[in-house]
Amino acid sequence: MLTKEELQRFRNAINDDKAVFIFIPSSLLKEKLLRGDDSILNELPLGMAEILMGCPVGGGISTDGNLVMKFLDGSIDKQNGYLFSLGEIRVSGLGDMVIKAV
């Protein structure tokens, strides 16, 4: 869990043009996508599973900072919350800021 200070850094990052939020899928997420037997992941938008599977180890996709804050404060929807819980969120451009869910 994040400290109050870390949480505030993420809040501040949303308003900083230099900040880029990146979701990095875990190997567990990729395994679940490959198996195709997860009812929540099977509802991902068309092509999203392929995009996530195509991320190299340590690589990810850009994501919305506001969605990240919803994840952190617990107000995110079930599907995105589950997805974020199976990976890592980094903020690029502002130093090392990482949320490791897995």
The reported pLDDT for the residue numbered 27 is 95
Confidence (pTM): 0.87
Task: Round to whole Å and give the CA distance between 26 and 59.
Answer: 10
Alpha-carbon distances, residue 42 vs 21, 23, 29, 69, 75 (angstroms)? 24, 18, 12, 24, 22
The reported pLDDT for the residue numbered 53 is 95
| DSSP tag of 56 | P
Alpha helices in 1-102 (DSSP H): 4-14, 27-35, 48-53, 65-73, 78-84
Structure tokens at 30: 């990729």
Please list the rounded mean pLDDT of every run of 10 residues in the chain (102 residues).
Answer: 81 87 95 96 95 93 93 92 94 75 53
The reported pLDDT for the residue numbered 101 is 58
The reported pLDDT for the residue numbered 33 is 96
Give the residue extent of every domain in the chain. 4-100
